[in-house]
Amino acid sequence: MRPVWLTWKVRSQRKWRPPWPSPGKVRRRRRKRHSTISGPGSRPMFDRRLFRPGAKPSAEERSLTSFRGAIGEALREEMRADASVFLMGEDIAQAPPFGVTARLVDEFGPARVRDVPCTEAAVIGAAVGAAIAGMRPVVELQFGDFISVAIDQLTHQAAMLRYLTGGQVEVPLVIRLPCGGGQGTGAQHAQSLYSWFMHVPGIKVALPATAAEAKGLMRSAIRDPNPVLFFEHKALYRTRWPVPEDYAAADFTLPFGRAQVRRQGTDLTVVATLAMVHHALAAAEELAGEGLSLEVIDPCTLVPPLCAALDHGGW
């Protein structure tokens, strides 16, 4: 006679069906849910062409600079110019999650492009130690949400050491934090936590919205003697943008604490960051048809103080 527990197990397995929709329905729903960043050379966040093996940009797009390419270019140029600059991150050498550090290990080797375990607290702690010792580490967390795992190392060590030593110790550390939603990831992979850290003395916060901003702010961040959190919205990585004439110059940087007025307006002012800058510009264009003049300001950084960056026109 079959035991009762075995009979129950067999029957439960027969009746159970996973409640997943068919793959076709999942793809259709996913395409409908996600928006597009509208800008020169941009594509939908989930444009299938971007995920095809060997997919190439169009002729028009090749004349523009990609957001992620601009960050990679800044890293490469700073590593060539300064031997103390090195990279640490999860899978950044062999399989970069978002492609920013692709092929850097071929030029600089595994000693300067270092894959690390998935232990954010240990990685940030090690980077703080390297910065104190005179190096300039650039850390990439695969998802910016997990900076919360390293709060102690960031706020009690990196942010405070310069103050605790009366300026005798500098912590030139950059932490790259892919952030933002819109890609169908879990909630713990889709946050933008920059507002947490703009209240921590000793930490600078950069928020690039275009390719030129990404390169200019990254170069400034690497050269800064203070820890910088560099937030990168994942929806922007595959977008492409025109760049200024001096973009390729060796001294091309964007100073912290200087905002960009993306659109002039007289009726309303919107301050937007990261990908929301482009959504705000699209809204301004739509409102212009209704007779409203909308000003759009991109602060670029939240620390140094935002108020100083926005000091214009009687603010």
- The single residue listed with the structure tokens 């996973």 is 18
The residue among 206 and 187 whose pLDDT is bigger is: 206
Query: Mean pLDDT over residues 289-300, rounded?
Result: 93
Give the model's pLDDT for residue 312: 57
Cα-Cα-Cα-Cα torsion 160, 163, 166, 170, nearest 10 degrees, comes to 60
Give the model's pLDDT for residue 314: 40
Burial class (CB in 10 A: 0-12, 13-18, 19+), 59: exposed
Query: Mean pLDDT over residues 244-273, rounded?
Result: 89
Q: Quote the CA–CA distance of 93 and 99 in Å, as a whole number.
A: 10
Instruction: Please report, as a single letter, which amino acid is at residue 161.
Output: L
pTM: 0.81
CA distances from 279 to 91, 187, 238, 272 (A): 31, 21, 16, 9
Q: Which is the catalytic residue, given 73, 90, 120, 295?
A: 120
Q: pLDDT-based confidence at 164, cuts 50/70/90? A: very high
286 is catalytic: no
Given a cut of 60, whether residue 2 has pLDDT beyond it is no
Q: What are 128-155's pLDDT values in tens digits?
A: 999 999 999 999 999 988 999 999 999 9
Return mean pLDDT, the chain: 83
Q: Which is the catalytic residue, given 73, 77, 78, 189?
A: 189
Give the model's pLDDT for residue 49: 38
Portion of the chain with pLDDT greater than 70, in percent: 77
120 is catalytic: yes
Give the model's pLDDT for residue 36: 54
Where do runs of H (alpha helix) occur along 113-242?
Answer: 120-132, 151, 161-164, 194-197, 211-223
Q: What are 17-60's pLDDT values in tens digits?
A: 555 566 566 555 444 444 456 555 444 443 333 333 345 656 66
Give the model's pLDDT for residue 24: 60
Portion of the chain with pLDDT greater than 90, in percent: 57
Q: Quote the CA–CA distance of 192 and 203 in Å, as a whole number.
A: 16
Give the model's pLDDT for residue 224: 97
Given a cut of 70, whether residue 15 has pLDDT beyond it is no
Q: What are 61-110's pLDDT values in tens digits?
A: 667 889 999 999 999 999 999 999 999 999 898 878 888 999 999 999 99
Q: pLDDT-based confidence at 191, cuts 50/70/90? A: confident
